[in-house]
Amino acid sequence: MRTNWKHNELIVIFILTVTIFLAVFVWGLGLFTDIEEEPYVSEETDRIVVGVSQLGSESGWRTANTESVQSVFTTENGYFLLFSNARQKQENQIKAIRSFISQRVDYIVFAPVVENGWRTVLQEAKEAGIPVIMMDRKVEAADQDLCVSWVGTDSRQEGVKAGRWLEGHLRKEGVTEEEDVNIVVLTGTEGASSAIGRSMGFAEVAHKHANWKILEEKCADFTSAKGKEVMAGFLRKYPDIDVVVSQNDDMTFGAIEAIREAGRTVGVYGEISIISFDAVHDALEMVADGTINVDIECNPNQGEYLSQVISMLEKGQEVEKDYYVEEDIFTIDNVTEEVLQERNY
Ligand code: GYE
């Protein structure tokens, strides 16, 4: 009898142990699920939840673009903003977009660092029923239908404007079609739609002039440090550069440093003409004093437009595929004190 009891006791202890083990295991699983699952923010707030994936913070222009978005998607305006900076890495942007999808945001806004490679994640957003709006740059044409709209600048047209300015400038300087004009181009991030557009637009005009020699186009990542490095290389390689086309102001700042360090002069009163893009405050000051010949404006204030697109979508209204922000061209003739004072980026 006593031995049986012992046997039963053992069975009870065994069952208890298994039950406790299972309970702890299931509780543990719950703990991990809590860690991995993102909260569904859209269910916690009646504000419009917008997930913004910014591509990085490489330039003054980008900082202004980020500020424009952050100043519009505020609590006061009825928004809940989830903001993520991808630091130039497409994989970070894809991760951010996936996280926005799992948090069931109402809208996704993103500035694609490069054109290609978005189809899968955009399809995921579409399947989840979340409208995606592109900002600043575009995804490749074949995938644009996966996005409801785009707000940005006409980069091809900016390139054309740069070319047209050069045509006029050479005419004024009395340079004939028989004289060679040696050009180097500092391009932005490889594969970025804004860099591709600016190169294409400028090339369209350049092709009409047999004497325009594009000696080399090289990527300098839209950053000042890279601009300086690439320009220094150009100067070592090509002794007679007439024109630098630099696809953003940050690269221009670096390039000008390199040119000066090489003992050469720039701008309206110098040997090498400088064509820049963006028109941020510090660059406009350099336009005003003749250091930069022309700055093709690229408007980073896209937040208002994005918020208008969202409010139209909220009302169930049709939206356009493309919204272009307004842009100007600046030379020493039109950068007034007033223009400089108004430029807050
Ligand atoms: O010109 C540059 C930035 O895509 C238009 O990206 C944008 C460009 C802008 O980093 O400064």
Ligand 1 closest atom vs CA 278: 1
Which is the closest atom of ligand 1 to the Cα of 153? 5
Pocket test for ligand 1, best of 88, 93, 136, 138 (most atoms within 8 A of CB): 136
Higher local confidence (pLDDT), 241 or 22: 241
Q: Say if residue 20's pLDDT is above 90.
A: no
* Mean pLDDT to the nearest integer, 73-94: 98
Is residue 337 scored above 50 in pLDDT?
yes
310 φψ region: left (φ > 0), alpha (ψ -120 to 50), beta (else): alpha
β-bridge partners, 110: 53, 134
Cα–Cα distance measured from residue 5 to residue 3, given in angstroms and rounded to the nearest whole number: 5
**Model's pTM, two decimal places?**
0.88
pLDDT tens digits, residue range 216-261? 999 999 999 999 999 999 999 999 999 999 999 999 999 999 999 9
Which one of 3.10.580.10, 3.40.50.300, 3.40.50.2300, 3.10.450.50 gives the CATH number of domain 155-298+330-342?
3.40.50.2300
pLDDT at 35: 44
Ligand 1 centroid to 106 CA: how many Å? 27
- Coil/strand/helix, residue 54: strand
Residue with tokens 């809208």: 107
**Atom of ligand 1 at shortest distance to CA of 192?**
4
pLDDT of residue 33: 44
Q: Determine whether the shortest distance from the Cβ of 278 to ligand 1 is under 6 A.
A: yes
Span 127-179, pLDDT tens digits: 999 999 999 999 999 999 999 999 999 999 999 999 999 999 999 999 999 99
**Treating both helix axes as pointing N-terminal to C-terminal, what angle do 303-314 and 60-72 enclose, rounded to 10 degrees?**
40
Enumerate the β-bridge partners of residue 183.
214, 243
Q: Quick one: which atom of ligand 1 is closest to the CA of 61?
A: 11
CB 86 within 8 A of CB 137: no
* Mean pLDDT value of segment 302-315: 98
Q: How far is CA 82 from CA 66, 271, 301, 310, in A?
A: 13, 48, 19, 15
Evaluate if residue 188 carries a pLDDT over 90: yes
Split at pLDDT 50, 70, 90, the class of 4 is: low
With a 6 Å cutoff on the Cβ, whether 295 touches ligand 1 is no
Index of the ligand 1 atom closest to the CA of residue 277:
1
Tokens (6 digits) for 136 = 């600043």
**Using 50, 70 and 90 to split pLDDT, how confident is the model at 2?**
low
Segments of the chain assigned to CATH 3.40.50.2300: 48-152+300-314, 155-298+330-342
> What confidence score (pLDDT) does residue 13 get?
75
Name every residue whose Cβ is closer than 8 Å to that of residue 263 and which is 6 or more positions away in sequence: none
Nearest-atom index, ligand 1, CA of 222:
10
Instruction: Calculate how far, in angstroms, residue 17's C-alpha sits from the geometric centre of ligand 1.
Output: 63
The answer on pLDDT for 281 being more than 70 is: yes
Q: Please give the share of the chain, as a percent, with pLDDT higher than 70.
A: 92
34 Cα: distance to centroid of ligand 1 (angstroms): 39
Q: Is the pLDDT of residue 316 over 70?
A: yes
Residue with tokens 């069975």: 11
pLDDT digits (tens, 9 = 90+) for 190-218: 999 999 999 999 999 999 999 999 999 99
**From the CA of 166, how far away is ligand 1's center (Å)?**
21
What CATH architecture applies to the domain 48-152+300-314?
A: 3-Layer(aba) Sandwich (3.40)
Helix H, strand E, coil C: the string for 176-189 is CCCCCEEEEEEECC
CA distance 134 to 148: 8
pLDDT band at 27 (very low <50, low <70, confident <90, very high): low
Cα of 194 to ligand 1 centre, how many Å?
A: 7
Q: 59 CB less than 6 Å from ligand 1?
A: yes
Ligand 1 center to residue 291 CA distance, Å? 21
**What is the strand order of the sheet 149-152 is part of?**
79-85, 48-54, 107-110, 132-136, 149-152, 322-324
